[in-house]
Amino acid sequence: MRKVTQQAVNAFNQGNDFKSSNTRVVATGNVVMMYLHGNQIAKRVLTDFNADQWELSISACGWLTNTTKERLNGLDNVSIQQKAWQWYLNGQKWNGELITVK
């Protein structure tokens, strides 16, 4: 995992702002967003404060690139693999469109 990915993921998980080259994390209250080249590729929303439960949504924003895949793979419960140009999210075909990850 690249250093910038690790730093961004740490900030994303801790709810801290972060910016380095093409990656940015913005935390506002109970919402944390990760951006790559200005595109929101991940969003984490606190759904239950008492139970510390979060809902994670991800998207490739139309950019099925190695960098997008690498940033998203750094997130908890996200495993993206590619075979014959097809992306697979946690073992299921995925076209990169917005999805909630459980």
Q: Dump pLDDT digits (tens) for 65-89.
A: 999 999 999 999 999 999 999 999 9
Token couple for 91: 């073992």
The model's pLDDT over 24-71, given as tens digits with 9 standing for 90+, comes to: 999 998 999 999 999 999 999 988 766 678 899 999 999 999 999 999
Average pLDDT over residues 16-23: 96
Q: pTM, whole model, 2 decimals?
A: 0.91
What domain range includes position 62? 3-101
Q: Find out whether 23 and 34 touch, Cβ atoms under 8 Å.
A: yes
Count structural domains, the chain. 1
Single-letter amino acid, residue 53: Q
pLDDT of residue 102: 74
**31 to 11, 14, 38: CA distances (angstroms):** 12, 11, 17
Other CB atoms within a 10 A radius of the CB of residue 96 amount to 20
Average pLDDT over residues 13-21: 95
Q: Counting Cβ atoms within 10 Å, is residue 93 exposed (0-12), middle (13-18) or buried (19+)?
A: exposed
Assign 91 a pLDDT band (cuts: 50, 70, 90): very high
Q: What are phi and psi of 8, to 5 degrees?
A: -65, -45
pLDDT of residue 50: 66
